[in-house]
Each structure stands twice: as structure tokens, then as C-alpha cells.
């Protein structure tokens, strides 16, 4: 009898219903491309944290006698036009690019989510004003709007971060607004209002937690876009300034030597490409794992 009860308990444990996040993690692990993208992201995150500690040379250490040297045992990725070690600069540049991407997306996600929740929950003239602001911002190509903002604020890495954050606010705002419009019609929201719960508590306890899934997915994909935009601004001379080893700035500095020293552009370009691919693959995996419509 005891053995029968034990077997039944074991069966119940194995068949118990998984929580939403546990189920999402199980679905995420089934995607090989998502795991591959996560491995790339983890690699570059570790590179950004610990890479500069193992850089063979300083990022601004110049040796004009060794300028434009091809990859070798002494200089794994070669040297640039000032004799600086490209490998060391890429290691330091990983921290800059990831910091800009993560910080810009975090700012835009917080600001966009706040505006989207307010617009979707309160509606009427509040929704009209916020939605029209989003429409005006989205009417401009994102990179042109970023260039305009940086031109007004002045070229610098910090201003480039602000510009990237601003141009991504409408994407998060419109996304979470559409989510709130459907959530606020649910029965448990009406029940919360009926018992006299304050709007602020409803927004914080019910609306916000149930609106985070699309924001997480969009945020992961937006990091890849932010890294590209930061590199584009750096390439145009509107982002990082010399001697900062930002990947886009490194591409701009090396474009004059493309024919003579292609490695000076190839390796920063590969770093940007791999980072963006990693975040895109991970974002696609999160979308498939968290979106009920994508589940098989």
C-alpha cells in the first residue's frame, strides 16, 4: 500500500503543472538557435566585464614603427594607423558598445512603458496626446532622428546614448499601450475597481506585471538595434570621440586604409555583427517561448 501511494505521489510530481516562467524556460531550451544566440551574448558580456583585464596592451598605447601591421603572434588582430593593438581596443570596445546598448534600451523601456501604460489605461485626451507624439516621432527614420538629436546636443558618447534612448521610446510605448488596452478589459481588473482599489495600485500590481512579456522580448531585440545605431553614430563622427575604442569609431578611423589594412575594419565589423546576431537569435527565442501564439 505504501508503495502504491509513493508511486502515485511521484506521478503527481512529474505531471504537476509548470509555472509560466518555468514553461517559458523549457520552451526556450528547445530552440538551438536561441541557445546559440545566448551563448554569443554571454561571451560578449564576459568579454566586456573581464576582457580589458587581459588586454595585452593599453588602448591608447601607440607605436608608430608598428603601424598597420597584419595579424601576427604579437598582434592577434593587427595594428591600426597609430600602431595601437586592435585586439586590445576591441576588448575595451565591447564594454562601451554593450553599455550603450543596454543603458539606452533600459531608459527607453522604462520611459516608453510608463507612457504606454498611462495612455492605454486612462485613454481619452491623455491617450490622444501621447499617441500623437509617438506618431510624430515614428514618422522620421530612426537614424535621422538620432542624428538630429545628437546634432542639437553635441557629438559625444553620452549624447548618442540619449538619442538612441529617445528614438526607441515610441516602440516600447505603442507595444505596451496595445497590451494594456486588452488587459484593462479583463474581469479581474473590473473586480479590482469594484472593490475600490486605487488606480495606482491596479497599475502597479496588475497591469504592469501582465504587460512585461512583450517588453522583455522587444528589449532584447532593441539592444541589437541600439548597438548598430551607436556604431552608426560613431562612424559618422557623432558618437564616441577619439581615443575611445568604440567599434563604430574604429570602423570610421580605419576606412581610409581599407585597401592596405583591411583587418583594421574587418575585426570591429565582425564584433558588431556577432553581437547583433546573438541578441537577435536570443530575442527570437524569447518571443517563441513567451508568446502563446508561437507555441506548438
Three-state helix/strand/coil letters over 129-182? HHHHHHHHHHCCCHHHHHHHHHHHHCCCHHHHHHHHHHHHHHHHHHHHHHHHHH
Residue 33, pLDDT above cutoff 70: yes
> Is it true that the peptide bond before 243 is cis, omega within 30 degrees of 0?
yes
Per-residue pLDDT, averaged over 214-235, amounts to 87
C-alpha count within 13 angstroms, C-beta hemisphere, residue 172: 32
Residue 263, pLDDT above cutoff 60: yes
Whether residue 24 is contained in a domain is answered as: no
Cβ-defined contacts of 254-259 (< 8 Å, 24+): 254/80, 254/81, 256/81, 257/68, 257/80, 257/81
Are 182 and 241 spatial neighbours (Cβ–Cβ below 8 Å)?
no
Q: Which domain does 83 fall in, by range?
A: 30-52+75-294
Each residue of 209-222: pLDDT tens digit?
777 878 888 888 88
Q: What confidence score (pLDDT) does residue 242 get?
A: 76
79 forms bridges with which residues in the sheet?
Answer: 85
Per-chain mean pLDDT for the chain: 82
Are 91 and 46 spatial neighbours (Cβ–Cβ below 8 Å)?
no
Nine-digit cell at 194? 469594484
What is the spatial distance between Cα 116 and Cα 104, in angstroms, rounded to a whole number? 18
Q: What confidence score (pLDDT) does residue 15 get?
A: 45
Domain CATH number, residue 251: 1.10.3720.10
Place of cell 486612462: 122
Q: What confidence score (pLDDT) does residue 65 get?
A: 78
Q: Which of 12-26, 148-162, 196-210, 246-260 has the highest mean pLDDT?
A: 148-162
Q: What confidence score (pLDDT) does residue 165 get?
A: 92
Whether residue 231 is contained in a domain is answered as: yes
Per-residue pLDDT, averaged over 61-66, amounts to 79
Whether residue 69 is contained in a domain is answered as: no
Each residue of 6-16: pLDDT tens digit?
555 555 554 45
Which of 86, 48, 24, 35 has its CA nearest to residue 281? 35
Whether residue 235 is contained in a domain is answered as: yes
Per-residue pLDDT, averaged over 202-213, amounts to 79
Per-residue pLDDT, averaged over 2-6, amounts to 55
Q: What confidence score (pLDDT) does residue 8 get?
A: 58
Whether residue 20 is contained in a domain is answered as: no
Whether residue 236 is contained in a domain is answered as: yes
Q: How many domains does the chain have?
A: 1
Each residue of 168-200: pLDDT tens digit?
999 998 888 888 888 877 777 778 778 877 777
Q: What confidence score (pLDDT) does residue 291 get?
A: 63
Q: What confidence score (pLDDT) does residue 111 get?
A: 92
Each residue of 95-144: pLDDT tens digit?
888 999 899 999 999 999 899 888 888 878 888 999 999 999 888 888 88
Grade residue 203 by pLDDT with cuts at 50, 70 and 90. Answer: confident
What is the spatial distance between Cα 75 and Cα 219, in angstroms, rounded to a whole number? 36
CA dihedral 83, 88, 89, 93 (to 10 degrees): 180
Nine-digit cell at 122? 486612462
What is the spatial distance between Cα 79 and Cα 89, in angstroms, rounded to a whole number? 10
Per-residue pLDDT, averaged over 75-85, amounts to 84
CA 209-210-212 angle, 5° bins: 70
pTM across the whole model: 0.81
What is the spatial distance between Cα 256 and Cα 251, in angstroms, rounded to a whole number? 9
DSSP string, 210-261: GGHHHHHHHHHHHHHHHHHHHHHHHHTTSSS-TT---HHHHHHHHGGGTTT-
Amino acid at each position: 500500500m505504501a508503495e502504491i501511494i509513493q508511486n502515485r505521489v511521484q506521478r503527481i510530481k512529474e505531471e504537476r503543472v509548470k509555472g509560466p516562467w518555468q514553461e517559458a524556460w523549457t520552451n526556450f531550451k528547445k530552440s538551438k538557435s536561441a541557445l546559440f544566440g545566448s551563448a554569443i551574448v554571454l561571451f560578449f558580456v564576459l568579454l566586456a566585464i573581464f576582457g580589458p583585464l587581459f588586454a595585452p596592451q593599453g588602448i591608447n598605447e601607440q607605436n608608430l614603427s608598428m603601424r598597420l601591421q597584419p595579424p601576427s603572434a604579437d598582434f592577434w588582430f593587427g595594428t591600426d594607423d597609430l600602431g595601437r593593438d586592435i585586439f586590445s581596443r576591441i576588448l575595451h570596445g565591447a564594454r562601451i558598445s554593450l553599455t550603450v546598448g543596454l543603458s539606452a534600451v533600459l531608459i527607453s523601456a522604462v520611459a516608453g512603458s510608463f507612457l504606454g501604460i498611462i495612455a492605454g489605461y486612462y485613454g481619452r485626451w491623455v491617450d490622444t496626446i501621447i499617441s500623437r507624439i509617438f506618431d510624430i516621432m515614428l514618422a522620421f527614420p530612426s537614424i535621422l532622428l538620432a542624428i538630429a538629436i545628437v546634432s542639437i546636443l553635441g557629438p559625444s558618447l553620452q549624447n548618442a546614448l540619449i538619442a538612441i534612448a529617445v528614438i526607441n521610446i515610441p516602440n516600447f510605448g505603442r507595444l505596451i499601450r496595445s497590451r494594456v488596452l486588452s488587459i484593462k478589459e479583463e474581469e479581474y481588473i473590473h473586480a479590482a475597481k469594484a472593490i475600490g482599489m486605487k488606480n495606482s495600485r491596479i497599475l502597479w500590481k496588475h497591469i504592469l506585471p501582465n504587460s512585461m512579456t512583450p517588453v522583455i522580448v522587444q528589449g532584447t531585440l532593441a539592444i541589437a538595434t541600439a548597438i548598430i545605431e551607436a556604431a552608426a553614430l560613431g562612424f559618422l563622427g557623432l558618437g564616441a570621440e577619439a581615443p575611445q575604442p568604440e567599434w563604430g569609431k574604429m570602423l570610421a578611423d580605419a576606412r581610409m586604409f581599407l585597401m592596405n589594412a583591411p583587418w583594421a575594419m574587418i575585426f570591429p565589423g565582425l564584433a558588431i555583427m556577432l553581437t547583433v546576431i546573438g541578441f537577435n537569435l536570443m530575442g527570437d527565442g524569447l518571443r517563441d517561448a513567451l508568446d502563446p501564439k508561437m507555441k506548438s
